Amino acid sequence: MSQIRMPIIIMLSFVATGFAWLPLTPIKSKAGLQTQSRLYNVPPPAEADIDSFQEYASRQSPPASFFELQQDCIRSARLARRDGHKLIEVEFPPLPANVLEMDDVSAYDVAEANLNLALEFAKGMLVAEQGAINKVAILLPDDAEADFAIGKAGSANPQPGVEISSLRRSDPNDDRIFKPEQLLLNLFGTKNGIVQPLPGVDMYIILVASAQELPDIEELHLNDPDKTIVFYNLKLDILRGDLGNPAFPGKDLQDRFLSRVKPIYYLRTRQYSRSTTRPPFMVNFQGCLFRAYPGQFQTLLDTGNGRYRRVLASSTRPPLGTFKQQLIDDLKKQGVIEEEGSTLNFLRTGYKTSTWWEDERPEASDGWMT
């Protein structure tokens, strides 16, 4: 057996949530050889036992299917609402990795997948919190995108208790086809319509919003602070990075608003490459940062065949640079990546391994990282 079995290629293949991650203590076989411990089917503890359930969630593995993913999302959202959280984030790949990598997959395909997933999520929340949630609104940035979603769903009310609308809505009594004042507003970068709550809505699900629409979400929260807002697959990591650039909202939006958004279900994969001085000279590896509320953030390394190995877990969300280093340190322990001197390590990583919004900021909340 060669010393290095590489490259490690990781596909987005989910592992069943019905299994808990057990400590990787060696088990001796009849031949006296040590093998890795196995995964056993462990039923989750009662949610009323807060400490035990948090420990279970902290060792929960990524789901095996989109059905299990939806069940986990609904449970995490329900528990987060029980604990009083109003601004929550759900983030996961809306399509399998091999589909997302296809050249003919467009932004419309991703948006349609997110819409279908959001409809199922809304339906599940209505059932899971019957009586507490009676109406869910799925909001898109403007009327044009809302019309597109309504066309795909077949109706503005595709399910009982679910409504599709827009964050910023124009006057419903204005039926003019051409609006000359809107032309001037567009030239000066001013948005059309107003942001206002929808009557009777208990939960808002925000879809396909860009960094420019983030202030509209903040305005909705200020106008309706007691209602839950779900940031659904918005890739907030990327949107936060745009803040402060020309024509984008300022960085203070992160401090006063986005930093309060709690990631209650977070599944993001990252692919990396690392050069080595030994064959095969290039190591490709991929990891997954996974969190299901109220559990911890888990750093998982894909070992191939759709299986993840738990590397670390933390009550705070690691910056992406730290997450990558955790994977590299584990591969070094396994002998896959060789140790290097401090100088070469510095040249690879630089003096800073986090983005500005991942740093400690005196005026920001720690909700985004806990």
**Is the pLDDT higher at 344 or at 84?**
84
45 burial level (CB within 10 Å; 0-12, 13-18, 19+):
middle
- In this predicted structure, the answer to whether residue 361 has a pLDDT above a threshold of 90 is no
End-to-end CA distance of the chain: 42
**C-beta of residue 118 within 8 angstroms of C-beta of residue 125:** no
What's the whole-number mean pLDDT along residues 44-57?
92
Which pLDDT tens digit goes with each residue over 137-157? 999 999 999 999 999 999 999
CA distance linking residue 74 with residue 126, whole number of Å: 10
CA distance linking residue 221 with residue 83, whole number of Å: 18
User: How is residue 250 written in tokens?
Assistant: 């300022």
Q: Which residues pair with 139 in a beta bridge?
A: 165, 206
CA distance linking residue 289 with residue 267, whole number of Å: 6
Q: How many CA atoms lie within 13 A of 318 on its CB side?
A: 22
166 burial level (CB within 10 Å; 0-12, 13-18, 19+):
buried
- Residue 355 is predicted with a pLDDT of 86
- Residue 295 is predicted with a pLDDT of 97
Q: How confident is the model at residue 342 (pLDDT cuts 50, 70, 90)?
A: low
Percent over 70 (pLDDT), the chain? 79
- In this predicted structure, the answer to whether residue 6 has a pLDDT above a threshold of 70 is no
- Residue 306 is predicted with a pLDDT of 75
Q: Write down the mean pLDDT value for the chain.
A: 83
What's the whole-number mean pLDDT along residues 167-190?
57
- In this predicted structure, the answer to whether residue 236 has a pLDDT above a threshold of 60 is yes
User: How is residue 315 written in tokens?
Assistant: 């009550």
CA distance linking residue 154 with residue 157, whole number of Å: 8
- Residue 354 is predicted with a pLDDT of 75
- In this predicted structure, the answer to whether residue 184 has a pLDDT above a threshold of 50 is no
Which pLDDT tens digit goes with each residue over 192-226? 688 999 999 999 999 999 999 999 999 999 999 99
219 burial level (CB within 10 Å; 0-12, 13-18, 19+):
middle
